[in-house]
Every structure is written in structure tokens, then in C-alpha cells.
Structure 1
């Protein structure tokens, strides 16, 4: 009996899980079902099964039109103003009234498909906020009078002391009062190289404590942390409507009122003014309702947009909607994150300098052997470099000790080795080593690791997050199009200056926190108008959402991918110029389609009023123009 109950429970849970997966796509399923019913109805009609075909068309009306009809009616009641949804419903019903079920059903199908795409986009926008929220811990270990207590982050108060162990995320903004450690601040600054922090230095929610244990005093409420500001900035930017969207909303209200008003007048005025019979008057009014429906206008944009999106996907460019693809052609400036976008995102060894007392081979082998015991990104880079450039196997040191925040100390063949920052080996000796070579390398944006043997510095290793091979080409292509390029990075001024010069960008801003990037983007938007942001990290999410077009690298964080409007799946920066060219071509085709479809609609309206066309010719003109604009849009598939 227990087994049966368990089986029933599992079946119910599976059904609920399946329903949860299907529900976000229910509008798309309804639209596709409507399309299938239209095809069935058309086949039945061709075989003289009139009643069955009408039933199939009615089902297509109900299934495909339910969501948009419900939305249109609710919006009309709430805003006390008719909308395009209502016009499409009236036009479809008008088609059915005069016996043209196929045209009415197709109208419903096209509109229901557009509604499904809108719903899909809105569902995607919720995921990015959820992804951000998951990065912040829900609980913290509060220390009070020597007693440790697990407390919800929402209940933390300014002045509370919390203990953060190695590998844990910082739950709230605060200041270190005890301990020293390396922190991975990629979630905030986007920089891949961990930062060493000690007493009296600030830490931020969402960052990761890599090694040492820290006691942190809370300095901000959980709702006011830098991490929460990132979430708020994303939400704020996504809630803002684009100028195009506002224009369309104004246009649709006016369009619906004009069409319905004219149709209402056509139902009785021609009878009294022109002497038409009541049958002819109603007939012409229904033709007007059909030919004036924006079916061709809808088809002017959607097929061209979908074709462009498909072409982009084939090239490794993922567009999350036609509006973003359209906006690309209007760009006048593009801002780039540094780490993982212009650069590879991982430090690499660029220089090895030694004194005369040790050979580079011995220096590299012993340094890599010691660093192989650390999981620090700089240590990993050194070990990888040694393995790639030397065939000798690494020999393990006799003893090794990690000095948190400074470096590592080891005994190697009875020699005392120290590897780390300048303060660890003696700042004065480090700065004077090889006539100040470290200072020169630091000015080139490189991170310096010093190596000391038995109290004397014997060499140094310079590392740098190197610029991607294709970066220069991509930036040059954009500059040729007259687009202003700027780099926004959380890194130091020296590093930013070096990377900017190597990347060929027009300008750069260093030491940017996420909110600084947003403010800088807003200033660029004021000066240049349409602006894009290219990034790959969680810290880039607010800037990606603030820009007119957010572009994410394919191997970036999940939040960046969800927030961005365009994703470069192959991390190929030159694809940005290709995307802009595709946008320009799509916009040209859309303009052609819009002008053509409006011209045909106006011609049909005038011809109907002058009684030059009957319903069959009106339908042929209306549906024919729709087919032509669709075929014109599909030309983009060959791009």
C-alpha cells in the first residue's frame, strides 16, 4: 500500500513538473495548433467538406485567438481605449461574417504567434534576476561574545560581526576587523585576478573568500549592498520602454480608432449619400475591415526579423528579439568590458627576468614546482607556462607554507624560497631589482610576482591578461563605421591604459564599479545617442541592461547572457560589425515592406470605396501583398 501511495505521489509530482515546463510555452503551442487547424480547414474546404472546414476554422479562431482576445479586452477595460488586438479580432470576425474563414483564421494565427514571442521574452527577463539572487548567501555566521549563531542575511544589522570561512561568499557589505585573505571580486569588478585584503579594508556581498578566515563588521543593511544595487539597476533598466515602443503604442491607438470609425461610417453613409443598397453598403464595409487590417504590416516586420535572427544564429550571433537587432544599426558608440571581452580573461606569463646567479631554466622549474601547490590563478598561470615551455618534470619542495595575503614560502634542496608580492620579499629590494624593472613592467599593466632565494631576490615573473587576437580587428572595423569605442574596467589605471592602447579603443575609464559603468554609459548615451555595451561578467549586467543594446560573450556568466540582448556564441568580437551590417540590411528591407504594404492597403481602400474591386480581388490584393513582403523578408536567409 505504501508503494502504491508513493507511486501515485511521484506520478503527481511528475505531472506537475511537466506542467511547469509546458506552461511558459502555452501561447506558442496554441499558435502552432491554430496554424495546424487552419491547414486542416483549408484541405477540408478544398474537398467540399464545408461544415467540417468551418468547425476547424472556428477552433483555430478560439485556440489561437484566446490569449490575444483576453489581453485586448482586459486592456480595453483597464485603459478605456481600443487597441490593435481588438481591431484584429473585429477584422477576423468580419472575414468570417462575409464567408472568408481562411483569411480571418490566418489573421488570428499571425497575431497569436507575435503574442507568444512577447511572452517568451518576458519569461526570459525574469531568469536573470533569479540568477543574480542565487549568488547571494541566505545565511551568515554571526559572532557575538564568542558565540557563533547562524542568522538569515535579511536580519543582519550594521555593526554585527560575521565569520567568513575559506570558500564562502560574503553575505553583506562590510569591513574586515580580523584576518587576511584573497578575495575573488569578479562578481563586482569583473577582474579575474583575486585581490588581497586585510584589516580595515572593505569587502562586498557576492564576492568569494578564497583562503584565509575573516571576521567582518557589517557596514550596510542587506537591502543596501552593492550587490543589491546591481539587481536594482538591472530591474530599472529593463522596465524602461524604448522610444520605438512608445511610438508604436501611440500609433496603434490612433490607427484602431480611425479604421473602426471609417468602417462604422461605411455601414450606412454610402446608402444615403451614394444610393448604395444596404447589402452593398454592408458588403463594402466588411471588405474595408478586411483590407484595412494590418496583416501585411505585421508580415512586413516579423518574417524579415526572424530571417535575420536565423542568419545571425548561423553565424554564431544570437539575437534575443527583433528590437535589439533593429537598434544595432543606430549605434554610434560601443563600450567594452576589459576582462574576458577585450582580453582572454586569464593571466598569462609575459616576462621572466633573473639575475646572473641563476639560469632561467632552473628559476622557472623551481618556481613552478613551488607554485604547483597553490590554486591561485597567478600560480596556475606560472605552472602552465612551465609545463608548456619545459619538458623536465616538476620536483616537489621539501616543505611549503602559504602566507595568506602575501605569497608562499618553501624549502627546496635546503634553500629557503619565497614567492609573492613586493612586501613579502622586501619592497625596497623588489623596486631596485634589475634597475627598477618591476616598475617598468607594472606601468605596462602587468602583475609582478617576485622570487627570493635565501634572502636575495633572484628573479621576477610578469603576468598579464593578454588581449584577444581578434580584438584589434574588431575595434578597427567599428571605428571605420564611425563608431566611438571605449573600455570600462575595474582594473587599475596603468593596466587599463596599456590594454586600451593595445586594443585600439578611442578611450577608457579605469577602476569602475558596476554603478560607475552605468553612470558612464548614461553620459555616453547623452553624447552619442544609441550605445551598446559588450561584457561577460555578473558585474556587467547593469551596464548591459542600461545600454540600448547589451552584447554578451558566449562563455560569460549566466547573468550576463540572460541580461544581454545579443550573445556572441563563439566569443568572436568581429561578429559585432557583421551584426550591425545585418541590422542595416534588415532595416532597409523592413522599410521597403512597410512602404509597399501601406501603399497596397491605401490602394485597396480607395478601390473599394470607388467600387472598382470585389471581395475576391480585395482578398487577393491583401493576401498577395502579405505574401510578397514575406518573400522579401526571407531574402535575409541568404545573407
Structure 2
């Protein structure tokens, strides 16, 4: 027992030491930069005490330790891409400074360059923090129930249909549905929503979410590599590796710009000596300053840190971008087309009106209707049954006989009476339309679906049902209008239904009676009319339209096909996140513009100051690398909010 405890303690110490080493290694660039700064200080002190050999030795150490990472990166990239880069310019400038005796200036250049590189690495790591934290919280084991016994296994061994138990405080290891128990679940890792959700039997649960206070048994619905959680991880990882058009342009520009700088520096090494009668030392010194201040370090760092920060911000708030190109384009959207069912609306009908025959007991009648409809799986029948259960506590009755007429309705016998429930043609069209002075016609004109009920005496009731607009949809559309976005609804419903839903949701335009192929043609028409158009949908039939739009936005609770086709995924069915995404895109593009204008202005000012001989090498280094650090810090602003 003691030996086991000692072994366990040894393993814990080993893991702790390994963790400390990993954390130390993460900051190796910063440590090297700080060591470089320390050696520069010692070298400067030595020079003050007239120990030139010792001073140069410490400056050399500063060069090697501070410049190693950037020199290696520059050489590897140059060999790989067969193109010179910014890192090579900086190394050449530092070596050139040392050659003409400016050891201090060259070492300071290396120090600040390595410091800005460490900061850029820190920025990249920070922007990838969300994906790292996601990977850390992904459960590795699950407790599977086999023949009533619990067994802990790795999540990769779980199969669809397995039953697992999730206890309070544990993370749910797989996507599935609760088959036993009730609990409250923190789904912030999936949806970005901090408020826990109460879930009971048949409710869906997702891998990576936290079971707060109840023990539940879950039936596994997806394998480990197909869960919503894993899709989030995959989406964010692919987004962080994909470059935006601005970033690709800057990288192409960098290669050409570096060649131009080297050519101008070579000219600067010779021409001023003859043209302005500068000494060779001064000419070479000014050429080295030009090599430093004209390098596009700040320009190169103007985009990538900002883009990664914005992608990470979106991931933290349940908005997944499949690449910087889509995030960048989102700010240019002029119009957004919405699928209706499941996007603007709840996706299932609800009872809105109940009209019964005069002198009829409406509660008793609805009890009979719900009892008969309970024997059907039709969405309208389920809506009527759900309405009864919500409004009343009485248990449903057992019909004596049921006959289902597919496409028309149900015929049922209850209390020794015959009942017809279904379409107007099923119960008698003329009588249905004449019921209660034509009330059904008004319901249909309002875009509602009407279910008619008939007994032996005639039409006894008309029930109006409608797919209800989500409350958050109205708020989201107001937010989009505030951003100057035109909103359009695409739906396969009739014009009456489309008009009614459009009025309820305050949408600007609607196109009714759309088939999947007509949605595509409608999207093409909208693109011609408005320019950059986004499409929001959640179903399989929305996939072609999502692919046709400039930017496809899928609802996270929608179909897998829609999520795979879309460019942006909202992990929670909250349309207000679209306005957030647009604001984030605008903020990112605004910061990128600020960075580019600032970095170019600094480069031009430093070049002009150098030609006018106002600038020395240390100030050139500070101005150049300082601007690089500032644009990186400015990019970090996209992590906030």
C-alpha cells in the first residue's frame, strides 16, 4: 500500500514538473528576448568601463540568443518559399550594424525584434486559447451501463445506442438523448449561453457540456468523432488555418516589397556618397537604418493577429467562422435571406384559435378531439395534443376505434359517437367554409392552417394552427435593420402564410411558394439586386441556397448538411448572433485598416527622417519595432466584447 502511494506521488510530481516545463517552453521566445536585453545591458556597462572585448562578447550573446528564433524562421521560410522575408531583412540590418562597429544598435535591433516576435507569438497563442480550452474540456472517458453494471471506458469505444450514466458535476461524454432522469445542464461550451438549461426525458444533450445537479442515463446518438462538440473543434481549427484575402494580399506584397527594399538599400549604400558627398561610413550607416525602418514588420502583423482574435472571440460566443475570408466578407453584406421554418419560426405548428359550435362545451369537445388526435403522428395532431396537455391536467381518453385516412385526416369513435377530424374536403367543404359565418376563411387568409371537426350533426369545431415566430427573431431583425441590412424571407408556404409571418417578424420582403431550386434562383436575383447577400437556414433543403449565397449561415441545431455547407455556424438558434457577427466583422476590418494606415505612415516618416539625417539607428529600431508591437496590441482588441 505504501509503495503504491509512493509511486502515485512520484507520478504526480513528474506530471507537475512536466506541466511546469511545458508552461516554461511556451514562453521560450520571451525568455530569450529578455536574456538578450540583459546581455545588452551588461555589454553596455562593460563598454562604459572600457572593457571592449567583454562588451562585444556580451553583444554577440545577445545577437545569438535573441536572434536565433527569428533567424531560423527567416532562413527556413526563405529556403522553403525561395523568397526573402522580413526576418531576413532584420537579421541583415543587425549584422550590417555590427560590421560598421554599431554593436549596441545592432543588439538593440535584435532585442526589440525578438521582443515583438515573442509578443506576436503570445497573441497567436492567446487567440487560440478558446480552441485549446475546448480540447482540454473534452471528456476522455464515459461510464457505460452493460446489463445493469457500470464500466468506465474511453469515449472512442462508445457506439450509437449505448447507455451511459452521467453523474452530477461530470461532463457529458457524447451526444445523445436522456432516457432516464432530469437535470440542469451548462451548455455554454456549445451555445455560448451562460444560463443553464433544465432537461428531462427525450431531451438532447451534447458532449462537453456539464451536468450540474442530477444523475441521468443517456442513450448515445453519435460517435465521438461526429459530435457537435467535435465539429466546433474542427471548424475553429480549420478557420484559424485559413487566411483572409487581405492576409494573402499582404503576404504576396511582402515578397515584392522586400526585394524593392533590398534594391533601394543597395543604391543607398553607394549613391549618397557621390551625390551628397557623404562619407562611406555615413552612407553605410544610413543604408542600415533604411533597411530597418523600411521593413514591413508592422504591415505584415496588421492582419493575422486581428483575424485570429476575432475568430476566437466568435468561437467563445457560439459563432463559428469557417475562415477569415468569411469573417472579412460579413461586414460587406447588404441583405440577408432567411428560411422560415426552424429559422424565423419555431419549426412546429401551435394552436392559435379554437372556434366551437354554439352551445357546445368547448373543454369537453377539445378533450375528445385531443384523445382521438393522440393516435396520430401528424404534426398538426401532435400540436393539438400538446395544447391540451399544456392547458389541462385531465388524462386523455381511449377511443373505441380509429381509422386513419392518409392525406385527409382521422375518423374516430368515442362515447359511441363518430368523429371526423381533418381537412375541409374531408369533412365537407361547403359546410366547413360556412361554419360560424365563414370564420375558417378568415383564419386561412391570415395564413393559418385549419383543422375541422365534424360529428353526426355537422361541423362542430374549427382549430387554427400556425408555426409561431420566435421571440428572438423579431429582436434579431431589428438589430439587423439598425446595421442597415435588408431582410428577406424565403418560404415554401402560401402567400397568405408568408405575408402573415413577415408582418409578425417585421421582415422587409418575402418570397413565397419557394421550392429548393427556386430558393437558389431567388438568391441569384437578390445578389444581382443587393450585391453581397447572406442566407440563413437550418434544413437539408436549405443547403443549395446556403452554397449559392455569398455567405451561408447555418443554425447549429439544424441539419448536418446545412452546417457543412455554410460558411458561418450559429451554435445556438439565436438570430441576434448574426448582428453580433456583423459588428465583429466591422470591428475587425476597422482595426485592420487602422493598423495598415498606421504602419505605412510610420514607415514613410521614418524613411523621410533617415534621408534628412534626423534619425539614428536606435530610434529607427524603436520606431519600427514599436509600431509593430502597437499594431499587435491593437489587434488584441478583437478578443474583447
Give the TM-score of the pair, scaled to structure 2.
Answer: 0.63
1:523 matched to 2:525? The reply is yes
Q: In 2, Cα distance between the equivalents of 1:419 and 1:412?
A: 13
Q: In 2, Cα distance between the equivalents of 1:93 and 1:539?
A: 56
Structure 2 residue aligned with 1:557, among 538, 553, 559?
Answer: 559
Deviation at 1:310, TM superposition (A): 5.2
TM alignment of 1:453-602, pairs within 5 A: 453-454=455-456, 456-602=458-604
1:2-49 Cα shifts (integer Å, max 9, x gaps): xxxxxxxxxxxxxxxxxxxxxxxxxxxxxx999644224224435548
Partner of residue 88, structure 1: 86
Q: In 2, Cα distance between the equivalents of 1:256 and 1:118?
A: 28
1:42-82 Cα shifts (integer Å, max 9, x gaps): 244355486598368535654x6698657634xxxxxxxx6
Q: Is the 8 A contact 1:486 1:505 kept in 2?
A: yes
1:528-582 Cα shifts (integer Å, max 9, x gaps): 2332322223333343344344333343333434444444444333444444444
1:406 matched to 2:408? The reply is yes
Structure 1 or 2, whichever has the larger Rg, is 2
Q: Is the 8 A contact 1:533 1:543 kept in 2?
A: yes
Q: In 1, Cα distance between the equivalents of 2:250 and 2:591?
A: 19
Deviation at 1:614, TM superposition (A): 3.4
1:38 matched to 2:48? The reply is no
Deviation at 1:464, TM superposition (A): 1.0
Q: Is the 8 A contact 1:38 1:105 kept in 2?
A: yes
Partner of residue 452, structure 1: 454
Q: Which moved more, 1:287-296 or 1:105-114?
A: 105-114
Q: Is the 8 A contact 2:321 2:327 kept in 1?
A: yes
Q: In 1, Cα distance between the equivalents of 2:115 and 2:403?
A: 74
Q: In 1, Cα distance between the equivalents of 2:90 and 2:66?
A: 15
Q: 1:481 to 1:53 in 2, by over 3 A?
A: closer
Structure 2's unaligned 5+ residue stretches are 1-22, 40-57, 97-106, 129-242
Q: In 2, Cα distance between the equivalents of 1:376 and 1:284?
A: 82
SS in 2 for 1:409: strand
TM alignment of 1:348-363, pairs within 5 A: 348-356=350-358, 358-363=360-365
Q: 1:67 to 1:331 in 2, by over 3 A?
A: farther
Q: Is the 8 A contact 1:329 1:583 kept in 2?
A: yes
Q: Which moved more, 1:558-567 or 1:290-299?
A: 558-567
Q: In 2, Cα distance between the equivalents of 1:55 and 1:621?
A: 23
Deviation at 1:410, TM superposition (A): 2.9
TM alignment of 1:322-337, pairs within 5 A: 322-337=324-339
Structure 2 residue aligned with 1:618, among 620, 623, 626?
Answer: 620
Q: 1:96 to 1:104 in 2, by over 3 A?
A: farther
Q: Is the 8 A contact 1:65 1:108 kept in 2?
A: no
SS in 2 for 1:300: coil
Deviation at 1:587, TM superposition (A): 3.7
Deviation at 1:103, TM superposition (A): 5.5
Q: Is the 8 A contact 1:68 1:111 kept in 2?
A: no
SS in 2 for 1:470: helix
Partner of residue 366, structure 2: 364
Structure 1's unaligned 5+ residue stretches are 1-31, 74-81, 120-240
Q: Is the 8 A contact 1:40 1:53 kept in 2?
A: no
Partner of residue 72, structure 1: 81
Deviation at 1:104, TM superposition (A): 5.6
Q: In 1, Cα distance between the equivalents of 2:25 and 2:110?
A: 13
1:369-409 Cα shifts (integer Å, max 9, x gaps): 22223333222222111100111111222333433333333
Give the TM-score of the pair, scaled to structure 1.
Answer: 0.64
TM alignment of 1:364-403, pairs within 5 A: 364-403=366-405
Partner of residue 58, structure 1: 68
Q: Is the 8 A contact 2:555 2:563 kept in 1?
A: yes
After superposing on structure 2, the runs of 4+ consecutive aligned residues of structure 1 that deviate more than 6 Å are: 32-35, 106-119
Q: Is the 8 A contact 2:123 2:632 kept in 1?
A: no
Q: In 2, Cα distance between the equivalents of 1:252 and 1:522?
A: 37
Q: In 1, Cα distance between the equivalents of 2:76 and 2:357?
A: 76
Deviation at 1:367, TM superposition (A): 1.9
Deviation at 1:508, TM superposition (A): 0.9
Q: In 2, Cα distance between the equivalents of 1:102 and 1:542?
A: 53
1:178-220 Cα shifts (integer Å, max 9, x gaps): xxxxxxxxxxxxxxxxxxxxxxxxxxxxxxxxxxxxxxxxxxx
Q: In 2, Cα distance between the equivalents of 1:332 and 1:473?
A: 19
Q: 1:382 to 1:280 in 2, by over 3 A?
A: farther
Q: Is the 8 A contact 1:94 1:290 kept in 2?
A: no
Q: In 1, Cα distance between the equivalents of 2:33 and 2:246?
A: 37
Deviation at 1:294, TM superposition (A): 2.5
SS in 1 for 2:397: coil
Q: In 1, Cα distance between the equivalents of 2:445 and 2:75?
A: 65
SS in 2 for 1:462: strand
Q: Which moved more, 1:597-606 or 1:449-458?
A: 449-458
Q: In 2, Cα distance between the equivalents of 1:111 and 1:638?
A: 17
1:465-495 Cα shifts (integer Å, max 9, x gaps): 1111233333334334443221112222221
Q: 1:52 to 1:277 in 2, by over 3 A?
A: closer
Partner of residue 261, structure 1: 263
1:106-125 Cα shifts (integer Å, max 9, x gaps): 77778999999999xxxxxx
TM alignment of 1:282-361, pairs within 5 A: 284-309=286-311, 312=314, 316-356=318-358, 358-361=360-363
1:322-367 Cα shifts (integer Å, max 9, x gaps): 5444444433322222122221222111112222364221222222
User: Cα RMSD over matched residues?
Assistant: 4.1
Partner of residue 127, structure 1: none
Q: 1:254 to 1:510 in 2, by over 3 A?
A: farther
Structure 2 residue aligned with 1:605, among 601, 604, 607?
Answer: 607
Partner of residue 421, structure 2: 419
* Number of corresponding residues: 477
Q: 1:477 to 1:112 in 2, by over 3 A?
A: closer
TM alignment of 1:198-237, pairs within 5 A: none
Q: In 2, Cα distance between the equivalents of 1:416 and 1:478?
A: 52
Q: Is the 8 A contact 1:37 1:60 kept in 2?
A: no
